[in-house]
Amino acid sequence: MTKLHRGTWIVAACHEGALILENAGAAQEPDLRLIDRLEAPAAHPLPTGQAHPEVTDRASLALSAFAARVVGRLAREVARGNARHLVLAAAPPLLTAIRDRMDDDLRARLMLTLPQTLTRHPVPRIAAEVQTALSRAA
């Protein structure tokens, strides 16, 4: 069974921002600590009904820029010897954008990807969701 090891970093991201957490506890009793909070660039919400290409392009560019920022932050931490194991949780478009920008070293550290938004959940619930997903993946 794959476990949420001590030192595992969890990135919970959405269109508003990202939480970067680290498990400071044991695999059986995780204790997630906030490492960083990244704010996403302001993007205008997509209009309902007929989409305007310029608004859609801005939203896409904002998502791409934010994904690059998250990956850059993780790459710097890996270079410092941190984040030996990673878990990513984000809505599918952002999750894909982040994974597409990861180099081989970051991808090798990736234990799990969750195509769901966890940023608005309390930290203990994020830990529980990740543990459940890890046990299902095992």
Q: How is the chain split into domains, by residue range? A: 9-42+53-137
CB 114 within 8 A of CB 88: yes
Q: Which CATH number fits domain 9-42+53-137: 3.30.420.60, 3.40.50.2300, 3.90.25.10, 3.20.20.70?
A: 3.30.420.60
Q: What percentage of the chain carries pLDDT values higher than 70?
A: 88
What's the pLDDT score for residue 27?
83
| pLDDT tens-digit readout, 24-77 | 998 888 999 999 999 987 754 544 455 555 556 788 888 899 999 999 999 999
Could you tell me how many helices (H) and strands (E) the chain has, helices first? 4, 5
**Could you tell me the pTM of the whole model?**
0.85
- Plot region of 4 (φ>0 → left; ψ -120 to 50 → alpha; else → beta): beta
pLDDT at 44: 46
